[in-house]
Structure formats: structure tokens, C-alpha cells
Structure 1
């Protein structure tokens, strides 16, 4: 793909993202009154309303959304504010707008950091996995194997991908009480990965494969929601120990931002913590 085509592709992706966010909003969401005298033919905000909120002309905004005009980041930042984008949405838009047109053709295989692998083993009381690019599982501890009922070591390396497991492994799928929320989050995180490296053939292969295999993935991918890994609370239904309510956290590696530790833990003395300990004893 030559430089011109990459520019066109980038403008198109920015425009499609802005369009989906515009159509997801109602006038009252952004402090506008709904005009009952003007019938809305489509849901969401009108282009002229977004343009007015961003203090730019409707024609200029329309060209950006249609992928016919390059927009500098300050303009996109103003549009992001008009559309009330959260931090993940702003980061995604920034990734798209600042994405270099030239990428290295050869991508080195990602190797897990030795000291992070040591840390994984030291986290003996909580499940933890090391995620890399594409949300590939680069490392795991014994508790993660017991918790997710998945023998990572027996999986082919190309199948050790967290999103793939969430959508295709029945045992992992059944682990999450609110699987739909988890699936949507995985899709949103994967969107951010694609924004960072749209020419990665393995990412393209993964998205294509899951789009064919799972109707929910295909539908949610079209929603263009984005997210960043952070922290939260999730409920699980483990086949051996029952219900677990766990805090999950993301620990970033300063030396290699493409690698992050994901941990699941519970407060000492809680029922969930006791059940984790019993899971550890049996692993």
C-alpha cells in the first residue's frame, strides 16, 4: 500500500469513527434542546450540530467525516470534546491521527520480559497473565491456569490470545458471569490495537477469523467502540469453587509498554479470597 492510499485509509477510519460516535448521541446528551418541529430522519446528532459545538463549518466537518479532508489534531481534539469522547475515545482518535504512514515491514517476534516472568511466578496467591501486542498471552502463572481452566502450555503459540479464548473457548466463556460485557471490552481493546498497528497481518487475521466465527464479535466490531486496559471488578462462576468477585488490575511495564501484567485478586479474609486459596491448594 503506497503512502497516498494509507492517507486515504487513515482519513476513512477517522471519519467512520466520528460518524459512529455522532450517531450514538442525542441532542440532550451534549446540552442541546430537541427541536420538535424538525423531524430527525436518522438517530443521533446532525453534522451541523457537531460542527456548531466544535466551532467549525458544517462543510469542513462533513469533509472530515467523509474522509475527504485531513484534519490536524487540534481540530480533532475540539471535535472529540464536542462528541463527549471519553479518554479511550480520545486516545484512539489520537492514535489514528498521529499514526505514521511508514511502518517496518518486518515485525520482530515479541519475547516476554524475563523479570516480568519472574514476577508472574512470585504472584503465587493470585491469577496473573502477561499480555503483549494483539492481546497475545506471553506468560502466565499456575494460578492463571487453574483459574481459567486453560492449559496455556499445550496451546499452539498463535492460539494463545486472550480475545480468541474469550470468544472461542467454552470454558473461558462460561467463566464470566457477564460474558457480553467482557466480550465487548475485548473487542474495544482490540480496536485500539488495530489503531496502533493497522498493517499487522496477524491482527488482520485475528479480526477476520473471529468475525467469521462469532456473530457478536462481528456486530460489536462494527460499533467501533474503543477502550484502554485499566482496572475494574468482575464476577466469575468457577466450575470448582463457585462464585468469585475479583478486582482486576493492569500493571504496565515502563521498559516495554507493549507488555502488561493483568492480575485478579480479592481482599484477604473475603469469601472470594478464601476460594482463590482453595483453588491454589488444588492446582
Structure 2
């Protein structure tokens, strides 16, 4: 890294086995260490933290190059790996030691974390409020060696845990990491056809679902926007009623400019009356 100054970011997202791999895949991340933070017990053991009596949370500490990857990008990675509405743990792991939190290292991180949390709350991605805490960082204690890079040491056990804990299902369902755009259409919606033509012209790949056969999608649109008519467009965390090409282009450009692996860009549309 030469003379570049590296920085640290600390996140608690439930089981630290599942939080190491997503950050390790990010360009500009130098290391990701599993450990414990937020409590009062000095040099705690896994057994002590698991008892829920130390005040510590399972966490990961990310060392990164800010000239290559921004703290905002790391926040995006964090949000898309957790259920931020669960204040009693994460997935199969229950207890205060599995709560989610962002531990800020300086005032800049604190402000960015607060803005990021507010944006997620405002986005409507989750129907319940975001419960993730934003806390001042104090001391981080690395976990025992057998916990470090568990996904690489025991890939089969890791994948089974991630799947059966429910974490993988939520990540895929909420964030649709592999589907940049989803299009919910109706057979006789003329404006919907115009939007599809616009997406194809701009070479935007999308998944199409007929909303007349999907009551849950219809109910979601009504709940999120208050509109029954078509089209309703969702790009990232923003909804557009009607075919606003200028806004669509702006939001699609914003979406493309960020790491697609961690960004949800979905388009929904309902039928015309």
C-alpha cells in the first residue's frame, strides 16, 4: 500500500463467521478479523461472550484503504448481510451478543452511519424500523484462531449454517444481488411496454414478472406507494410513479456506478386502470 494510510471500520452483524466473507471480497479491504467489542470484560473468551453476560457483541473489524474503497461502500456491504430490524439477535442466533451495531471510529464515520441508517429507514425496504445501534468504538478483541476465516477452513459447515440459519434466504429475498433490475408488468399495460423498450434500448438486464398473477407484488406496491395504477418504478430504494425517463436515467446511472454486488435495483409496475 506504500505510504497510504489505512483505516478501520467495525461492524456487529450477528455470527461473525458470516460477516467475514462479504467484506473480504471488496477491493480495497486489507483484512477482516472476527472478534468481540462493545462490552466491559477484558480479553473475553468465546464461551464468556456466548453467555451474554459480558456486554460484548460478536463483530468484525475491517482494515481498508480509503483511497480504494469508501466507508459508505462498507456500510452498504454491512446492511445487505443482516436483518437490521431484529433487536433480539440475528436469524438462528438469539441474545444480546448477536445484536447488530455499527461502531464508529471518528465523527465522520458516525455521521455517515447515521445518514445511512436513516436512508435505509426511509427507503421502505423493511416494514419494521431499523434497530441497529450506532455506537462509539472502544476496544476490539480478536476471537480465537479457530473462528478466523471459518468459511475457508470449513466451507461445508459454513454453508450449511448460513443456509439453515435463514441468513442466506433473507439476503437473496431482500437484496436480489444477482438481479440488477426486476420488472413487474401486466399484459395490457402500454406504458409498461414503453418502459421495457427503454430498458432494452439501454441494455439494462431485467427480470419480468406478471403482477396480475402475483398478489403479494400488487399489495407491496400499494403499501409502499399508495398507487394502484401503472407504472410504478422502483430503482434502488426509490419509487417513481409514471414513466419519468429523466429520473430513471439518473437513478440507473447512480446504481450502475456503485458496486452491483451489493446494490438492489428493482423496477415494479402495476396495471393501468
Q: Same fold (TM over 0.5)?
A: no
TM-score, normalised via structure 2 length: 0.24
Higher relative contact order (CA 8 A, sep 6+): 2
- Greater share of residues in strand: 2
Normalized per residue, the structure richer in helix is 1
TM-score (norm: length of structure 1): 0.23
